[in-house]
Chains A and B, each alone.
Chain A
Amino acid sequence: MAGATIWKGYIHFGDTDVPVKLHSAVREERIQFHLLHKRDQVKLRQQMICAYEKQPVPAEEQTKGFEVEEGKYIIIDPEELEKTVPEGNRMIEVHEFVKAAQIDPIFVDRVYYLEPDIANIQGKGYDAFVKALKEMDVAGICTWTMRKRSYFGALQASGKVLRLNTLRYADEVVPAASLGLQGVPLSEKELMIGSELIDKLTAPFEPRKFENEHQKKLQDMIEKKARGEKIAVLAPRRLQPTESDQLLEVLEASLKKAA
């Protein structure tokens, strides 16, 4: 079962309105650790400490400031902040459609499932919309307001279900050019053998094959410690980097191994 309904609204473009309910598509379960004080094993709490008084400050004495220059702030009241909250109108407004393959994965943030809101009298059009998106292989680029934030996203069809991906704003994605990478000349032979090797190592995408083994091992280690058993501390494996002048040789050896 998918999660509970998070939000309700409707998709709008042209003269089409499709009422939908939003559900989460992903649930993470992870082993949780607490931070403790070494001396007495008391669970630590986070406190806001005043840099000047070096004392914890209760919530009612905390205020928000925007730093204009070092140590100088504009104070913003909660009422003022509330005014910047975008108005919610329940509408997921589609501005344009793009070829699905054009969406660079680096922009994809969270994914939600959209369920048709059949309780709504206009609860039609969902199936036709999914079918159209799929057959035309397009995604709807849209904006909406939810939980006091403005979102930008992509509507996509998956099977018979509509998904809504939230997208990151363009200026939040670090461009690869800013990494300062320097080009290194490669020989055509190195590239050919490299491509051949990668082709040999290619398999279909089957995420089910991959389990979170670490989680189980961690659970085992915790249980072992709980029983008072000793834990052997192992050093992490570190690989010897391939020397640049041996790259071709190593690629050839890899190809032989993969064959």
Chain B
Amino acid sequence: MAVQGIWSGTISFSLVAIPVRLVKAIEPRGVSFHLLHSKDYSRLSRKMFCPEENTMVPPDEIVRGYEILPDKYILMTDEELESVSPERSRTIEIVEFIDTKDVDPIYYDHPYYLVPSKGGEKAYQLLVEVMRRTNKAGLAKFVMAEREYLVAVFSRDGALALTTLHYSDEILPDEDMSPKKGKIGAEEESRMKKSIEQMIEDFNPGKYADERRKKLVDLLATKAKEKALVEAPAVEEEEGEGPADLVAALEESMRKVKAR
């Protein structure tokens, strides 16, 4: 079974190198709507548009620019971006292992899985099994879509899970959060502990469902019964779109993830 990868390269520790692909670990399940044109109920799609020429711009005419002065840009090509850190753009090099329990969850950003590419299956399985036995995770850095990620690689249910981590300077200090004064009354403490004790269960995330999603599904079910559906006019398939810009697609998906 071929799972499509977001990124491909190798993961290495010491002298061992394993060819892998990065795949999604999170699949948003929210009810998704399409934006339609209210005149003809045709599907709307997000396209890049040049305000000067008043035209849609195909992917092969799009370049990336850094704004140094208002409306003045330094252009950066994919090749240049990839050569900022050439040693990391195709390699996830585990520089050290850590005890899994030592990782503060505040660092967790976004999870993915790694799957082995052809020929890497055995070494992949070794890393999965050895990290499981030792309760260790690997720390590495790699570069994807012009960003460098600090990542932790875990053994999870027979697979390698990769979680991007925040850099420590992105974590805001919390000293000003805690109350300065105050003693905890022994009575209050024991009352609280007792009430917590009574509520201890096993972690079972499957019990919780998105209430909003349920309501949306109900609303759609009711409307489907009541009203006729609208239909969009047929459109011929567009041609000559060219290959999709993977980097742009990735950035877009990252933005979506962040916006959630």
Give 24 A-B contacts (CB < 8 Å), ordered by A residue: A23-B177, A45-B49, A47-B47, A47-B48, A48-B45, A62-B35, A62-B44, A72-B231, A73-B36, A75-B36, A125-B188, A161-B178, A165-B105, A171-B29, A176-B156, A182-B121, A184-B121, A191-B126, A195-B133, A205-B102, A210-B141, A214-B143, A239-B91, A250-B15
**Contact (Cβ within 8 A) A48 B210:** no
Chain B interface helix/strand/loop/mixed: mixed
The residue in A3, A215, A258 that gathers the most chain B C-beta atoms within 10 A of its C-beta is A215
Q: Which residues of B contact A32 (CB under 8 A)?
A: 66-67
Question: Known contacts being A65-B34, A244-B121, is A237 close to B173, with CB within 8 Å?
Answer: no
**Contact (Cβ within 8 A) A201 B231:** no
> Which chain A residue shows the least CB distance to B76?
A33
> Which chain A residue shows the least CB distance to B142?
A214
5 smallest beta-carbon distances between A and B, as pairs: A214-B148, A254-B14, A176-B157, A14-B195, A52-B42
**Contact (Cβ within 8 A) B172 A181:** no
**Contact (Cβ within 8 A) B91 A40:** no
In-complex Cβ contact of A106 among B111, B182, B229 (8 A): B111
Q: Which residues of B contact A95 (CB under 8 A)?
A: 199
**Contact (Cβ within 8 A) A160 B176:** no
Complex: how many Å from CA A75 to CA B224?
10
Chain A interface helix/strand/loop/mixed: mixed
**Contact (Cβ within 8 A) A198 B106:** no
20 additional contacts (CB under 8 A) given A32-B67, A103-B203, A199-B97: A44-B62, A46-B49, A48-B47, A104-B156, A105-B108, A128-B185, A132-B189, A141-B203, A158-B106, A167-B208, A174-B27, A191-B129, A198-B13, A198-B136, A204-B102, A214-B85, A221-B84, A238-B10, A242-B17, A244-B119
**Contact (Cβ within 8 A) A138 B196:** yes
In-complex Cβ contact of A52 among B10, B96, B179, B235 (8 A): B235
In-complex Cβ contact of B9 among A24, A160, A238 (8 A): A238
Interface residue A6 (Cβ < 8 Å from any Cβ of B): no
- For the complex formed, measure the closest distance between the CB of A117 and the CB atoms of chain B, giving whole angstroms: 10
Question: Known contacts being A52-B233, A65-B36, A214-B85, is A194 close to B212, with CB within 8 Å?
Answer: no
Q: Which residues of A contact B80 (CB under 8 A)?
A: 221, 231, 233
**Contact (Cβ within 8 A) B192 A214:** no
**Contact (Cβ within 8 A) A237 B86:** yes
Interface string of A27-63 (1 = CB under 8 A from B): 1111111111111111111111111111011000111
Interface string of A106-117 (1 = CB under 8 A from B): 111101011110
**Contact (Cβ within 8 A) A244 B122:** yes
> Which chain B residue shows the least CB distance to A24?
B172
Interface string of A228-241 (1 = CB under 8 A from B): 00011111111111
Q: Which residues of B contact A225 (CB under 8 A)?
A: 74-76
> Which chain B residue shows the least CB distance to A238?
B90
Interface residue A89 (Cβ < 8 Å from any Cβ of B): no
**Contact (Cβ within 8 A) B172 A210:** no
Complex: how many Å from CA A13 to CA B199?
9
Interface residue B244 (Cβ < 8 Å from any Cβ of A): no
> Which chain A residue shows the least CB distance to B108?
A108
Interface residue B206 (Cβ < 8 Å from any Cβ of A): yes
**Contact (Cβ within 8 A) B167 A211:** yes
**Contact (Cβ within 8 A) B184 A62:** no
- For the complex formed, measure the closest distance between the CB of A116 and the CB atoms of chain B, giving whole angstroms: 5
Q: Which residues of A contact B234 (CB under 8 A)?
A: 71
Q: Which residues of A contact B163 (CB under 8 A)?
A: 105-106
- For the complex formed, measure the closest distance between the CB of B85 and the CB atoms of chain A, giving whole angstroms: 5
In-complex Cβ contact of B44 among A15, A25, A28, A51 (8 A): A51
- For the complex formed, measure the closest distance between the CB of B231 and the CB atoms of chain A, giving whole angstroms: 5
Question: Known contacts being A16-B192, A57-B44, A152-B208, is A62 close to B121, with CB within 8 Å?
Answer: no
> Which chain B residue shows the least CB distance to A62?
B35
Interface residue B71 (Cβ < 8 Å from any Cβ of A): yes
Complex: how many Å from CA A86 to CA B43?
28
**Contact (Cβ within 8 A) B46 A48:** yes
Interface residue A177 (Cβ < 8 Å from any Cβ of B): yes
Interface residue B57 (Cβ < 8 Å from any Cβ of A): yes
**Contact (Cβ within 8 A) B129 A49:** no
Within 8 A of B (CB), among A162-182: 163, 165, 167-177, 179-182
Q: Which residues of A contact B48 (CB under 8 A)?
A: 35, 44-47
**Contact (Cβ within 8 A) B16 A184:** no
In-complex Cβ contact of A108 among B105, B123, B189 (8 A): B105
**Contact (Cβ within 8 A) B42 A84:** no
- For the complex formed, measure the closest distance between the CB of B134 and the CB atoms of chain A, giving whole angstroms: 5
In-complex Cβ contact of A26 among B29, B166, B211 (8 A): B166
- For the complex formed, measure the closest distance between the CB of A94 and the CB atoms of chain B, giving whole angstroms: 7
The residue in B33, B53, B73 that gathers the most chain A C-beta atoms within 10 A of its C-beta is B33
